[in-house]
Amino acid sequence: MRIVSWNVNGLRACARKGFVDWLGGAGAQIVALQEVRALPNQLPEGIRRLKRWHQAYHPAERLGYSGVGILSRRRPDEIVSSLGEEQFDREGRIQIARFGNLIVANGYFPKGSGTQRDNSRVPYKLGFYQRLFEVLNEMRTTTSRQLVLGDFNTAHCEIDLARPRENRENSGFLPEERQEFQRWIEAGWVDTFRAFHGQGGHYSWWSQRQGARERNVGWRIDYVLASAEAMSFVRRAFVLKDVRGSDHCPVGIDVDPAIIR
């Protein structure tokens, strides 16, 4: 059973670059999308009329901004699109779907950089991390098999970006952001990709300037985190670096289908 996450950087634009063809050959049962940046009725007909896919979207109040979506072969038993705080909910950043005994949280974590290219949004970003952590912890009493996937907008360790030294004062690699990510790890969440791949050079986002992707000067900021109970079902983790259509590439895991039973 394949579960994939992809920040599509605008689903309408990604559709023009072959999203539907990619989806048809991805072999995935659950696909979590971030930065959809469109209302459901604004999506191309080729996406709205996809056969054998259940689609659920949570757009931001601000048009053309943020937004998340889940496409799945199986209809979710339940989807929650709120963290109970308006400051986060209005930006369309979270969907928490239940498939049997599995929780899949699809998150578009905020950037810490503000409109003036400063780090003014870091407190908001950390607040989102902390609130989602709390909500998932509350849900563990009923469903302990949990996955959190999406664009975390943080490179956890130096190995997760090509130029760590040059980015120590930039949002995405600030000490307080990395510390918050580490708090999740210390609480028992597993970075699924790192559980299978210890080497560097694997990234999921590249700047669209100066041929960064061709030179593989990137950041690994897209993750699938698994609770310990869910991790026992994970068989493989991957980064699909050759898939184009966005400045991010898809990431994902293969799991034993028994994870939902």
60, two tokens: 């931001």
Candidates 21, 77, 89, 151; catalytic one: 151
Per-residue buried b or exposed e for 43-71, using 16+ beta carbons within 10 Å of the residue's own CB:
beeebeeeeeeeebbbbbeeeeebbbbbb
Question: Would you give the DSSP letter of residue 161?
Answer: B
Per DSSP, the residues of 234-247 read EEEEEE-TT--SSS
230 DSSP β-pair partners: none
Whether residue 77 lies in the annotated active site = no
In a 3-state reduction of DSSP, which class is residue 230?
Answer: helix
226 DSSP β-pair partners: 147, 190
Integer Cα distance of 239 and 149 in angstroms: 13
Contact 150, 5 (CB under 8 A): yes
Residue positions annotated with a catalytic role: 151
